[in-house]
Structures are given as structure tokens and as C-alpha cells.
Structure 1
Amino acid sequence: MRLSPRPKTALRSFAATVVAGLLALSGTTAATAQADSAPAATAATGPPELLIGQSTRAAWDDFNSFGQNADGGSVYYELRSGDWVNAAHRDFATLLADQGKTVQVGISWKDNPPGFTGGDEAAKAARSRAVTAEIAAGGHTAALDRLIAFTEAHPRARFKLRLDYEVSSYYHCTDASCSSYKNAFNRLASYLDSRSTAHNLEYVFHPVRGEFEAMYPGDAVDWMGVSVFAHELCLPIYDRGYLYNGTPPQNYDTGTTQCRNAYIGTDSNGNPAAVWRTFDHDANVLKLVKFAKDHGKPVILSEAGMMNFTADGGAPDGLEQQRGDLWVKRLFSLMNYRGPIPNLPGEYDLRGVIRSVSYIDLDFRYGWDGIDDGSFDFAPDTTWFVDGRLSRYGAAKASFCQGLAANGFTARCR
């Protein structure tokens, strides 16, 4: 649908309204805004690391069918049972830790809260918030004893501990201040540090992409985590018969498969003006990376994987191949982003902030373990029903291998 042109006076009024709104959102003015041109300085040093996830050795074996020297992997542990989610997670963690590699551990309570006896999602979220407050008060620490013993038994390994993952106000905050989660994060980090003699633990704050600032726990954070699937790279997802992209439609360009946002630029007279353009990356992801840089924290892409981009039954063929390649290229371009950020003035250099990537190299059609054993499968034509194994792709695998080499990863392809 083509819109009728607006009168020039209406356009000027509209532009002024947009700029005022963007300036209010950014918390600054064009007169005081400064462009950010310096490369990032973060706590992490050395080459970026590649972790292969998640959950089982199946992902590790797929990467090693064409690559080598990955730095580690990703698994899950839960407070409710005080144990690994299952034996496959424990065995994968053991495989990695025995080699002195990095193990990212998602320590969960929101997915299966201690003391939750049943009910709908709202009831589970309420119990998760209560558990968060209990942790802040010193509860549930005994549930970490098995994990502490494991880390102590592998002093050469490094453990990135996500103190719950994709945390949000809905599941973790008892009030607007979110002191419940902030205090819980700090309490757990302090307790784990007090029990660790190997001193091989680092703590990951992994929020949903829009709540990083409100929930930030402070200096106890070693890494900022973020999930990167489809919307985070402005790509569509196929689900139950239709494509969706996280809309509203005016913020998405279906022709170029990009997000569409405004940032604060200047007009020919040097006055602040809304500049509309397309982006390959979600605004909240760019803002999270900037926030991490501003606080001197490196970023880990704690969960990164392809989704069901097309209506092809989840198989890696046809347009799925093209979209997979585009996904990989945008993933690595996020690591090297320089440019404007929606709603903010100036331009920013975010190179070098992302220091770790956990790629989920699994066939999601068969659930989180990626194994066709009948234990759990995703329904066909749903978001996760996709074969995300890089070995099944041509251009995407080639781009992934090129991205590893171009960005100085130790992991490489044969």
C-alpha cells in the first residue's frame, strides 16, 4: 500500500515529534551527544571463544565433523533437583571439563521452580519470583553443592555460570526495583566464590533483551549474556502456517528482511533530526552490547541458533539455505558493529565487545537434545522445528568458517 504524500508542514511537524520522542528515550540532547569512535575495552582478553551447545555431545560431534578446537560448550543445571538437568548434560560437561575447556552452565529456577506444585504459567512465574526472593535471603544454596564439587574437581576448566537465563521481571522481580533478582545474583555469586578454591568461576547476567538495564546486578557481573535467534538479527520465523517478525509492521521491511528504526541524526542546519534506516540487528541487542561496553563487561551470545525461517518442513534446503547463510553473516556482523543505534544520537563502535559465542549446533526437530530417540520432539511447522546443524548447510557453514577465521577465533574449520 502506497501512502499519500503529506504536506511539507505536516512532515516537519511529524519529524519534530519523532526527534523529541527519541531524545526523551535516549536521555540526552543532540548538543551533548558524542559519537563513540573508540574500540571497546572489556574485561575479557585474548581471542574470542566458540562454545558449542547445547545440552549434549551431539552438537559437539557435529561441529567436529568439519571443525576443530572449539573452546567449550553449554549445559544446564537446576536448583529444584540440585543436579544437572539430566545425565547427558552431566556427561557433556564432563567431556569438556576433562579437557580443561570452558563450560557455560545455565543454573535454572524459573523453568522448574523449587516448591512449585503445579498450575498455569502465571502460577509458575509467581513461584519463580518467590524463589528469587528466597535466594536473595540466602536460601537454596545447598542445591549448588553438586555443581561446586564438579567445578572443584576440574580446576583447569573455566565455568561461566548463568545465574538463571533469559531473566525477566515477570519471572524474577517482586517489585519495580527488581532488587529481588539483583540481590539473588549477588548472593549466589558471593556464595559460590566463598566455596571455590579453584577460582575458576565467572558469572553471566543473561536478561531478555529489553530489560538489561533495569535488572543489572552490578559489579558481580563478569559477562553480559544475550540470546540471538531470528528476531535479534531481524529475520522472520515460520510458525504454524505463517511468517512473523516481531512487528509492528512499520518497524520491519519485508522487502529487505530488516528492522526499520529511527536514530537521532542532524539535518543540513545541524539540528537534531530523526533519521530512518534499516538495520540487520534488533535495537535492544545493539543497546545491550553498548550497555555492556559502557560498564566494561564483555558479552557472550549465550544461546545462538537458527530457527524455522521458511515453510519447508524444517529441512535445510531451498530458501532455508539462503536464510541460514544470511543468519550466519549477520551473527558475525554483530560482533563488528559500527554505526547508529535506534533512538540514540551519534554512532557507536561495538567491535570487540562480544567475546564469546555459543552456537546451538543441533537438529531442533528432535528437541533440545537434537537426538531422534522419541524422548521429545518439536511439532512440525513450529518455531523450533528446524535442523540447525551446520554440517547440513553449504553457504552457511562456509560463512561460519570464514567468520571464525576473520574474527581470530581459535576454533577453525578443517
Structure 2
Amino acid sequence: MFRRILTVAATVLVAAVLGGQAPAGAAPDRLLFIGQSTRTSWDDYTSFAAAPAGGSVYYEVKSGTWVSTGHRDYATFLARQGRAIQIGISWKDNPPGFNGGDEQVKAARSRAVTAEIGAGQYAAQFDNLINFVNAYPNARFHLRLDYEVSSFYHCTDASCSSYKSAFSRLRSLIDGRKRQNNVVYVFHPVRGEYQQMYPGDAVTDWIGVSIFAHELCLPIYDNGYHYNGQTTTLQCRDAYIGTDSWGNPAAVWKDWDYDGNVLKMMKFAKDHGKPMILSEAGMMNFTGGSDTRGLEPARGDLWVKRLFGLMDYRGPLPNTAGTHDLSTVIKAAVYIDLDFRYGWDGVQDGSFDFPVNSTWFVDGRLSQYSTARTSFCQGLLARGFTTPC
């Protein structure tokens, strides 16, 4: 009993530190996924914390298999333990039939492939994925039907019927061949096109969003150029519908900790009764063109606190009247936890590394930063994650 009293007291204290309240008597229900690509991030995270609920990997349509053996091995590692696995099923990055050209050419091919998937083509490219799902009935799969989908890469017309048809077709294909009920389907759009591209309530289980720098109103730097996010206030500025001195509706300027499109997507998800997953979340370059080491303890801690603050958002929305409680919308989060300075897999193996002044030149491993790590562990507890530190 004494231990339980201490645990409850600690939970309340942590919630107060993060500016929220621990839900009275509520069981933890949020899922934490760690990393993408390989076990590298898993191994770093579990060096200081209990094993999370799962991880994240990628599968591509063109080859009909995992993006690399590292993705396959990490997925197998998770599945054998019966854990949750987010799988990004991608065709926009490397569309079937694309053999070279600029981004416009690749995007045009991706749009065509989207329509072709909707028409029933490429079914055999999903055999390996479906067989993998069937081989691990105790695992849970969150399938993103492409990721960060956009009109540029997926819509053949303004209605975006091409992507909606592709989403429905893939769900029908996988549902028709899987042997157990352990799959959910994730719609993961770029933050400004969620309404236009939404596949519909009948086929969408979860809604995903990426959370990096600007989504938390922090600046992004690339090759010495600053874009997105204000460097001084570290906030976004947007207008929402408030009232003037006579009580009439009027635009009111407000400094935000969160991108307005993300907040409105959260309301959209709540209105449609869909839980959200932060499908990709990680730090980005904190400098204008130099090594980021040494800056993550301060900026990284702010990033972590805003990340967990987003999960407890209650307040106004841009261009929307009233205040809104969005504190129960986000039900899962994927923290990448990689040293991106050494490429997408974060492995210092002599392969591709990011340039020092690029967007992704950042060490995002929580093991390296005590303050950010402490805030992360506090956030897990205060926000009701099933696997706190």
C-alpha cells in the first residue's frame, strides 16, 4: 500500500511538472513505438528504459519487400515478441516503373501508380507483407498506406479519388488474406491536406501525423538557411476567431507552440472518432550551419516538453471559434531516437552521412541528454503510456 501511495504521488507530481493532470483512476492506454529502420534506436532507448510497445519500419511496393534487411530484421525482432509494429508501405519514394528523372517525373509516376493500385494492380507486391502478418498472429500491425501522402504524389485530380481508391483497395486486399484480427490501417497525410485526401470513416482506423520541428513551432535549418519556425520567440504566429470589444467574432493573433494545421487535424480526427498516432517524431538541426552537439540538451528538452504538451492540448484553434479539448486524441507516438548524423539508419558504418549543416544533422538519441531524457520519462508517465521508463 505504501508503494502504491508513492506511485500515485509521483504521477500527480509529474503531471504538474508538465502542466497537465494525471487521469484519475485511468489505466494507461497510449502506445510508445521506438525508432525506424533498424534495432539501433531500440537498443539505445532500452539502455535506460523499459522496452516500449513496439517499433516502426518500411516496406516498398516496387520491390515487394522490406526497404532493407535492417527493416526486415527489426520487424522480425518485434513480431517474435508479440509487439506492435508500424509499417510504412511506400510507393512514392520509389514508384514502380520509375527509372530516373527529376522530382516532377517521379511524382507523376507516383500519381499514376496510386491510380493503378486503386484499379487492382500490384497485388502480388504485397505477398511478402501479408505472409509476414500471418506468420505472427500475436503481433499487432499499424499499416500506413504510404506515408506523408500528398496531392503532389498521390492525387490525379482535385477529388483525390485516386488515393482514396488505393487506400480502400489495399485494405480490402490485406483483409481478404490475413488470418487474424491484428491489423489497423493508418491514413498519414501531410499536415495541410488531411480533409482533401481522407479515405473515409469506413476504411480508416487511425490518423497519423509527423512531428519534427515546425510542427512544434521550432526553427529548421538547412545549408545555412533558416526556414519555418521563428528563431527568437520559438513559436508560430496565427490568427483564430475570437471576439472584439463588442463581443462580435473577430480574428485574434496568438503565439502558438503548435502548428495550426496539426491542431486542426487533431480536431478532425476527434470529430471522426479516430485515434491519432504520431507516426514519425524526432529532433532536427538546431543550428544555422554547424554541429548540433551541445544544443540538444536545451532545445531537445523544449522539443520533448512540447511533444508531450501536444498530447494534452486544450485551447483555441486557428480560425475556429471556442476552445477545444484534444487531450484524448493522440493514442500512440513513434520516437525515432536515432543519431541522424550518420544517415537514416543512424549507424556509423561508413555509409551515407548527412552534411554538418543539413536539416537532418542531429543526434536525437535520448541516452545522450539527461534533461531531455528526464522530461521524456516524465511525459510517458503523465500522459498514460503503457510502457513508462
TM-score (ref. length: structure 2): 0.91
CA deviation string 1:255-287 (max 9, x = no partner): 321001111111232211211110000000001
Kept in 2: contact 1:49–1:409 (CA 8 A): yes
Deviation at 1:177, TM superposition (A): 0.5
Identity of aligned residues (%): 68
Q: Which residue of 1 aligns with 2:98?
A: 116
1:222 and 2:205 matched? yes
The residue identity in structure 2 corresponding to 1:351 is: S
Q: Distance in 2 between matches of 1:392 and 1:237?
A: 21
Tell me, what secondary structure is at the counterpart of 2:317?
coil
Q: Among residues 265, 272, 275, which one is paired with 1:288 in the alignment?
A: 265
Aligned-partner Cα distance in 2 for 1:136–1:404: 39
Q: Which residue pairs with 2:142 in the alignment?
A: 160
The residue that corresponds to 1:341 in the other structure is 317
1:89-135, Cα deviation, whole Å (9 max, x unpaired): 00000010000000000000000001112111110000000000000
- CA drift of 1:312 comes to 7.2
Counterpart in the other structure of 2:217: 234
Distance 1:258 1:89, change over 3 A: same
Whether 2:116 is the aligned partner of 1:134: answer: yes
Aligned to 1:173: 155
- The 1:312–1:133 alpha-carbon spacing in structure 2 relative to 1, beyond 3 Å, is closer
1:354 aligns with 2:337: no
What residue in structure 2 maps to residue 371 of structure 1?
347
In structure 2, the residue matched to 1:301 is 278
Task: Give, in whole Å, the separation in 1 of the partners of 2:227 and 2:152.
Answer: 24
CA RMSD after TM alignment: 1.2
> 1:46 Cα deviation (Å)?
5.6
The letter for the 2-side match of 1:260 is R
Can you give the 5+ residue segments of structure 1 that lack an aligned partner in the other structure? 1-44, 247-251
**Structure (1 or 2) with the larger CA radius of gyration:** 1
Residue 243 (structure 1) shift: 2.7
Number of aligned residue pairs: 362
Corresponding position: 1:387 with 2:360: no
Question: Does the CA-based 8 Å contact 2:286-2:292 persist in structure 1?
Answer: no
Are positions 1:185 and 2:162 aligned together?
no
CA deviation after TM superposition for structure 1 residue 315, in Å: 3.9
Contact 2:28/2:384 (8 A) holds in 1 = no
Classify the secondary structure of the residue corresponding to 1:340: strand
How far did 1:233 drift? 0.3
Q: Is the 8 A contact 1:314 1:365 kept in 2?
A: no
Deviations 1:51-98 (A, max 9, x none): 001110000001001111300000000000000001000000001000
Distance, in Å, in 2 between the alignment partners of 1:379 and 1:198 is 45
Matched ranges for 1:37-116 at <5 A: 47-116=29-98
Do the aligned partners of 2:296 and 2:369 also contact (CA within 8 Å) in 1? no
Question: Secondary structure of 2:265's partner?
Answer: helix
Q: Quote how far apart the aligned CAs of 1:355 are.
A: 0.3
Structure 1 residue 151, shift from structure 2 partner = 0.6
Contact 1:172 1:181 in 2 (8 A): yes
Instruction: Decide which of 408, 411, 414 is 2:384's aligned counterpart.
Output: 408
Specify the code of the residue in structure 1 equivalent to 2:204: V
Who is 2:129 aligned against?
147
Change (3 A) 1:162 1:327: same
Look up the SS of the partner of 2:320 in the other structure: coil
2:226 corresponds, among 243, 251, 254, to 243
Question: In 1, Cα distance between the equivalents of 2:291 and 2:364?
Answer: 9
Aligned match of 1:397? 373
- Alignment-derived partner of residue 277 in structure 1: 254
User: What's the counterpart of residue 12 of structure 2?
Assistant: none
Residue-by-residue CA offset, 1:143-197 (whole Å, 9 max, x unaligned):
0000100010000000000000000000000011100000000000011000011
Q: Is the 8 A contact 2:380 2:387 kept in 1?
A: yes
Q: What amino acid maps onto 1:238 in structure 2?
A: Y
Amino acid paired to 1:370: G
Deviation at 1:380? 1.4
Please say if residues 77 and 108 of structure 1, whose CA atoms lie closer than 8 Å, have aligned partners that are also in contact: yes
C-alpha distance in 2, partners of 1:207/1:375? Answer: 30
Q: Which runs of 4+ in 1 moved over 3 A?
A: 311-316
Structure 1 residue 311: deviation in Å?
Answer: 4.3
Is the Cα–Cα contact under 8 Å of residues 339 and 364 in structure 2 kept in the other structure?
A: yes
Pick the aligned partner of 2:182 from 197, 200, 209: 200
CA distance in 1, matches of 2:325, 2:334: 22
Question: How far apart are the structure 2 equivalents of 1:243 and 1:126?
Answer: 29
Q: Is the 8 A contact 2:191 2:261 kept in 1?
A: yes
Tell me the equivalent position of 2:15: none
Matched position secondary structure for 1:69:
coil
Would you say the 8 A contact 2:164–2:197 is kept in 1?
yes
Q: List alignment gaps of at least 5 residues for structure 2.
A: 1-26
CA distance in 2: counterparts of 1:314 and 1:362, whole angstroms: 16
Q: Contact conserved, 1:312 with 1:320, CA < 8 A, in 2?
A: no
